[in-house]
Amino acid sequence: MDALGWAGLAIVVAFAVLAVLAPTISPYRTTALSGRPLEAPGAHHLLGTNSVGQDVLSQLLSGARVSLFVAAVAGGGAVLIGALVGMVAGWRGGVVDAVLMRFVDVVLVVPKVPLLILVGSLVGPALGSIALIIALTSWPPGARVIRSQVLSLRRRAHMKAAIGFGAGTLHMLRHHVAPEIGLILAAGLVAAAGRAVMLESGLAFLGLGDPSRASWGSIMRDALDFGVLFETYAWQWWLLPPLAAVSLFLLGIAFVGVGVEARLNPRLARHPGSRR
């Protein structure tokens, strides 16, 4: 990766470390009434408190855990489903390819946010359910990219030679196709993780997230629901930190995506505009 990619990776790793250490370094429980309402940042509350006296820093660290979980589970699930569908469609071709690609087209045109709201209201707002729903609605773009790459790989000489020596479908997909599309899968994972974090934050902001966990979206919703927020200085320590956190995390993921894309296509790394 280039310098931009490494910078993005450092940002993502920093958030991951905070998320893993959150139970240890959080000064208070997220639901604990640990101070006075709207208490300004100080020695006991580094980012102040919200309207009921809960520590904003503790809630922010909890939000990092939620975002990391969603990025890993929903992003990884979307990439896994997309890779399986894309590889099978591209390798088998014919009727299998046609059926799978029509199914991909159907999922692509389904409006995701209304579907997430509907299904989330039916199955419940548990974080695992939300991550699973995001994964099940986010895999089609990756499937189409993987299919295109596999169609290209099928025509290469070493693939035809392996088939000629009697290699079966599963052997070809595991030992020949999967290694060839590794970087594409990495780029797809980065993109899917970013989309998953945005969707989860949006659902939490709309009040459809897991009510038992503080997330960045729910913190922003609670802050904006406080009617006189901007008539006080509380917006500086209650609204800005989660907004900055989600923006910085998504920026880090985007930088990692740029780095992986440059590795995937070396011509991008050699392009003069990529060094600016």
Give the pLDDT confidence of 12-33 residue by residue, as tens digits: 999 999 999 998 998 898 888 8
As a whole number, mean pLDDT of residues 208-215 equals 79
Query: In angstroms, what CA-CA distances link 254 with 28, 38, 46, 207, 261?
Result: 32, 34, 29, 26, 10
Query: By percentage, how much of the chain surpasses pLDDT 90?
Result: 22
Residues 6+ apart with CB under 8 A from 169: 91, 92
The pLDDT of residue 155: 77
Is the CATH code 1.10.3720.10 the one for domain 3-275? Answer: yes
| pLDDT score, position 182 | 80
- The Cα 262–Cα 276 span in angstroms is 14
What residues does each domain of the chain span? 3-275
Q: How confident is the model over 214-238, as a mean pLDDT?
A: 88
Task: Look at residue 268 and tell me whether its pLDDT is greater than 60.
Answer: no
> What are the beta bridge partners of residue 185?
none
Structural tokens at position 116:
């997430």
Report residue 55's pLDDT band, with 50, 70 and 90 as the boundaries: very high
Q: Which residue has the higher pLDDT, 177 or 256?
A: 256
C-beta atoms surrounding 193 within 10 Å: 28
Q: What is the pTM of this model?
A: 0.81
C-alpha 32/C-alpha 55 separation (Å) is: 8
Q: Give the type of residue at 45.
A: H
**Whether residue 104 has pLDDT greater than 50:** yes
Mean pLDDT of 101-127: 80
Q: 161 versus 216: which is more confidently predicted?
A: 216
- The four Cα atoms 252, 206, 117, 256 give a dihedral, to 10 degrees, of 0
pLDDT mean over 259-266: 71
Is the per-residue pLDDT at 246 higher than 70? yes
Q: State residue 262's pLDDT score.
A: 73
How far, in Å, CA of 38 to CA of 237, rounded?
9
Q: What would the mean pLDDT of 243-268 be, rounded to a whole number?
A: 81
Amino acid 11: pLDDT: 93
Question: How confident is the model at residue 3, as a pLDDT?
Answer: 84
Confidence tier at 159 by pLDDT (50, 70, 90): confident
pLDDT over 50 at 271, yes or no:
no
pLDDT of residue 17: 93
| Residue 274 predicted with pLDDT over 50 | no
Q: What is the pLDDT of residue 276?
A: 42
pLDDT bracket for residue 109 (50, 70, 90): confident
